[in-house]
Amino acid sequence: MQIFLKKLTVLSLILFLSACGFQLRGDIQANFDSISITGGSPSFNKTLQRKFRQAGISIENAAQAEKVVEIIKNNFTKTILSLTGTGAVSEYQLDYEVTYRFKNQNTPWNDPITIEANRTYTYDDADILAKDEEEKRLVSGMEDQLIKTMATQLSLSK
């Protein structure tokens, strides 16, 4: 009887999750097949191109692409948020800002769009390697968030 109740509980949880519309984040969903990307820092541009390629969108030159994106500015800053009583850094704030514009193949450029992502994290001198790795993961997550936002805005444009 207990096995039956466990199976019923698991089955009902699966049913509730599927009924509420929950789904894991997937690749970029776009309504275009090709894109041209110019500007920005080499690392951000490379990550952006890789994410679009993974979604099945080809990277073309500006004359052949359906969408043309120009990264006007991408800026990453790390600022001290708080200090301990002894003057050591206790928290950092990470800010990532991207300004870009885009156009369809035969349309004029749209107005520049600025999107940003912010994160804070605690810092400890005793765990320098771990905190450096945490920072790298936070920056990578911020890039992913910005890229998904850009892809959504590009897909919603006409």
Taking the C-alpha atoms of residue 145 and residue 119, their distance in angstroms, rounded to an integer, is 12
pTM: 0.74
Alpha helices for 2-156 (secondary structure H)? 2-19, 42-54, 128-156
Task: Between 127 and 157, name the one with better pLDDT.
Answer: 127
Residues 48-104: pLDDT tens digits? Answer: 888 888 888 889 888 888 889 999 999 999 999 998 888 888 899 999 999 999 988
Name the CATH superfamily, with its identifier, for domain 2-156.
Lipoprotein like domain (3.30.160.150)
Domain ranges for the chain, please list them. 2-156
